[in-house]
Structures are given as C-alpha cells and as structure tokens.
A and B are shown apart, each in its own frame.
Chain A
C-alpha cells in the first residue's frame, strides 16, 4: 500500500481543511488511501443541446460515456425550460438507447395487414412517383377566370419542429416548385 506522508497528505487535501485536521490529530488515513486505490472510475462528458421535438426549444444536458448516451436531462441554466422537461422530452434517452426503435423502412401496401421491410431506395422512389402522380392529376394551370396559377390543391405539407432553418428553407422551396399552396410548419401552431 502506498504510504502517504503528512506533507503529501496536505498537498492531497489541498483546501480540504477538515481533512487536514484528521492527520494532525494523528488519525490513520490508510483506509481512505486503500479505498481510493480500489475505486474504479469512468470518464463521462456533459454536452448541452436543444430538444428535437416541438417548437419550444427546451435546453438539454446529454451525458455520454465512450460516445454512448448515459443520461439526458433538462438544462437548469437554459432560460426557456430552466431544467424542466415534458414527458416526451424526459423519454429522449430512449431515442438513443431503445432497442425497439425502427432502424429499417417498413411498408404496408394498400389493404394489406402486414408490414414488410423495404429498401430506402424503393421507398424514396415510391414517394417521388406518388407525389408526382397526385400533383399531375390535380394540377391547375389556369383558374376559372383564365388567370395563370400553376398550383395544386391535391397535396398539403406540414413541416416538423425537428427541421432546422435551412432545411425549412429548402423544403418550402421544393414544395412551391411542385405547386403546393398549403405549406405549414409545426412551430406556427
């Protein structure tokens, strides 16, 4: 066992005045030293971020250990939520850790009762094909008075709060290019 001199201990305890008193009273510190040597520690980090769900934008502190999320809690220093989180925000930890989280695209065909696993490529192709088909079928070039409108009332768009500013910009641009008129965002409700 490592022996700790008085001088060494004073250096160890630093400003720990009460601890210093113990040695000066002649108490044996070796149990503490042994305890310290036996302890296993792990290095963790805390990072601040913003909740991805609604438009309120609550602050979070995420703790990680070896790049794995070990805890998510409300940031007490954040001016919006001051440490509090709604129940959905409190369960955010599961977004990173739950084994029930979907990792593959699932597709249920019309009138089918079964979900089937499909590729991203196929799913994205289907979304594009169907959006195009609906848009073409409902597209209006001119209104009743003969004015050029180039629009569709057949599709509406609702943006989610997880989209950031730049994503929203590109997204609304794409929707307008398709001729959509009903373009909404969750943050405006």
Chain B
C-alpha cells in the first residue's frame, strides 16, 4: 500500500509531466499506472486546471490589457505553455493568444507562428471557412501547427467571446485542420516539431 508521501510524490511527478508536456515521463507514468497514455495526459490536465486558473487569475493584472506584454511572446505568461486559441480584437485587429490551462490571454504578433516562430509570409496562411467570417484556422507550413482564431471584427458590438465556450464550440475546426494534416500546438523545439520542420519544406501549399 502506498504511503501519503509517495502518493504526493506521484501526483507531483504527474502534474510536472503534464505541465512541461514531457511525453517521455507521461508515457512512463501512464504505463506504471496501467492507464492509456492519452487518457492519463488528459486526466492530468483536467486535475491541473483549477490550480492553473488560479495562477492565471493571480497573474492576470500583469498579463491582460492591450499593452500588457511589451515583448510579444509565444508562450503563456503564466505557465509557459503553447496557446490553444486566439482572437483578433475588434478595433485594431491585434492578436491575443489564449492558454487553455490557465485561461490567460496575451498579445502576440499577427504574422508569425506562435509555435515555431516562423514569420515568412509565404509559409503562413489560414483556412477560411466558407460562409463563416468569424472563425478561421491559422496554419504554419513550417511546423504544420494550427491555431483556431476568432475574428471579432464584424461581430456584434459589446459581445465578449468566452474562450472556454469557443474551445468546445469550434471542435469541428480541429477536425478540419487535422484532416488536412495540421497538428495542435505543433513544433516549439521538441523532437516532433523538428521532424515536422524537416518534412514540411516539401509540402506544397493548398
């Protein structure tokens, strides 16, 4: 039978692996716990979320606002993770990225991939959904990452989007993107991303 201390250690190892997106550790911990790795990762993220939400709230003042981030950064200012969605704000079209773990938003450059940093125009694009001006899928041909983006220009004034709702509501866009060979939160220096960068060069744009 496990002691309280060893349970705490196991929990800490789990959370750390989830937070760092450490696939090797996740695989190992999942096989030790005899749980499928994807389910293990998913459950870990759910368990972490309340804590990261609180962290995001505490850091909110430092990260929100149009000029909260002086230097555009690709990763969540609270947890350091990749963005899960983005929005283009109504007035100036400034892009804000959103972290699904911490529920934090921060400003980032428009014409650059937040996952691999690629800023070449001819290697970036977006999938426009016919008959829908509001949602689009920003894609990078270098790392093959995609990011669901809500275009607020043209939306009814005063309407605030709720990313937690958008995340579920635009699930079909994930399927569209992944059906075309793009991956969520791709690249970023991990081995998977490096492979994608190597192979993406030959991929013709659509």
Give the B-binding residues of A (Cβ under 8 A).
Answer: 7, 10-22, 24, 29, 32-33, 35-37, 39-48, 61, 65, 73-77, 82-84
A33 partner residues in chain B, CB cutoff 8 A: 172, 175
The answer to whether B94 has its CB under 8 Å from any CB of chain A is: yes
Q: How far is the CA of A47 from the CA of B172 in the complex (A)?
A: 27
Given that A10-B38, A83-B92 are known contacts, is A65 also in contact with B128, CB under 8 Å in the complex? yes
B105 smallest CB distance to A (angstroms) = 15
Given that A10-B39, A15-B184, A36-B175 are known contacts, is A41 also in contact with B127, CB under 8 Å in the complex? yes
Q: Which of B110, B131, B176 contacts A46 (CB 8 A)?
A: B110
Q: How far is the CA of A45 from the CA of B141 in the complex (A)?
A: 11
B13 smallest CB distance to A (angstroms) = 20
Q: Which of A7, A21, A44, A76 contacts B125 (CB 8 A)?
A: A44
Q: Which of B45, B125, B129, B131 contacts A15 (CB 8 A)?
A: B45
Closest to B205 in A: A43
Across chains A and B, the number of contacting residue pairs, with CB separation under 8 Å, is: 133
A18 partner residues in chain B, CB cutoff 8 A: 100, 164, 167-168
B49 partner residues in chain A, CB cutoff 8 A: 17
Within 8 A of A (CB), among B81-124: 82, 84, 89, 91-95, 100-101, 109-111, 121-122, 124
Give the A-binding residues of B (Cβ under 8 A).
Answer: 36, 38-39, 42, 45-46, 49, 72, 82, 84, 89, 91-95, 100-101, 109-111, 121-122, 124-131, 136-137, 164, 167-168, 171-176, 178-180, 183-185, 205-206
B99 smallest CB distance to A (angstroms) = 10
Q: How far is the CA of A73 from the CA of B125 in the complex (A)?
A: 16
Q: Which of B93, B95, B125, B164 contacts A45 (CB 8 A)?
A: B125
B17 smallest CB distance to A (angstroms) = 14
Q: Are A19 and B109 in contact (CB under 8 A)?
A: no
Q: Are A77 and B72 in contact (CB under 8 A)?
A: yes
B35 smallest CB distance to A (angstroms) = 12
Given that A17-B45, A77-B110 are known contacts, is A61 also in contact with B93, CB under 8 Å in the complex? yes
B173 partner residues in chain A, CB cutoff 8 A: 36
A74 partner residues in chain B, CB cutoff 8 A: 92-93
Q: Are A83 and B171 in contact (CB under 8 A)?
A: no
Q: Are B92 and A15 in contact (CB under 8 A)?
A: no
Q: How far is the CA of A45 from the CA of B138 in the complex (A)?
A: 9
Given that A41-B130, A76-B110 are known contacts, is A36 also in contact with B179, CB under 8 Å in the complex? yes
Q: Are A32 and B111 in contact (CB under 8 A)?
A: no
Q: Which of B93, B95, B100, B179 contacts A16 (CB 8 A)?
A: B100
Q: How far is the CA of A46 from the CA of B173 in the complex (A)?
A: 20
Given that A32-B172, A36-B176, A41-B176 are known contacts, is A46 also in contact with B42, CB under 8 Å in the complex? no
